Amino acid sequence: MTVFKNRYFLQLLRFIVGGVFIWAAVTKIADPLAFAQDVRNYRLVGQALSFLTAIILPWVELIAGICLIIGIFPRSAALMISVLLLFFIILVAVTMLRGIDVDCGCFGTFSRKADLWLILEDSLWLVMSLVLLFSPANEFCWLKATKKTF
């Protein structure tokens, strides 16, 4: 489809997906102890690993979101965001299958219940990030690589 090759559409997607990841990261960075508890509530890791996750994961999200928006390693940022979203989808699905009722921890104090709607929403975000990942390179960002021939 030509819309997926449209530079302005792709830039809009970059701003939306990157912005959501920046917002999610900032809310977690603001209260790492609360996010560590959110991680712990999934009952997959112990307390030490939940603290480590609460310190590292938000910064990964923040850097990926910023890189996606400003066009520094945009494909790598889109890949990282896609991998994170796939992990989040699987995590929520497994948690639901285990019968564990938790808040997702996605947006700090603005988080909501981890449920099927969250899986559907994250799936939509995943589709958007995959569009960015597999879009034509020349249409992806403002900073275009130039080829010098001698």
Query: Dihedral of the CA atoms 38, 15, 73, 85 (nearest 10)?
Result: 30
Cβ-based neighbour number of residue 71 at 10 Å: 16
pLDDT of 89-130, one tens digit each?
999 999 999 999 998 888 766 667 888 999 999 999 999 999
What is the distance between the alpha carbons of residues 133 and 73, in angstroms, rounded to a whole number?
Answer: 11
Long-range contacts formed by 53-62: CB under 8 A, 24+ apart = 54/28, 57/28, 58/24, 58/25, 58/26, 58/28, 58/29, 58/32, 59/25, 59/29, 60/84, 61/21, 61/22, 61/24, 61/25, 61/28, 62/21, 62/22, 62/25, 62/26, 62/29
Given a contact cutoff of 8 angstroms between Cβ atoms, the answer to whether 28 and 65 are in contact is no
The answer on pLDDT for 137 being more than 80 is: no
pLDDT of 47-67, one tens digit each?
899 999 999 999 999 999 999
Q: Tokens 């990841």 sit at which residue?
A: 21
Query: Across residues 70-74, what is the average pLDDT?
Result: 92
Structure confidence at residue 24 (pLDDT): 95
The answer on pLDDT for 2 being more than 80 is: no
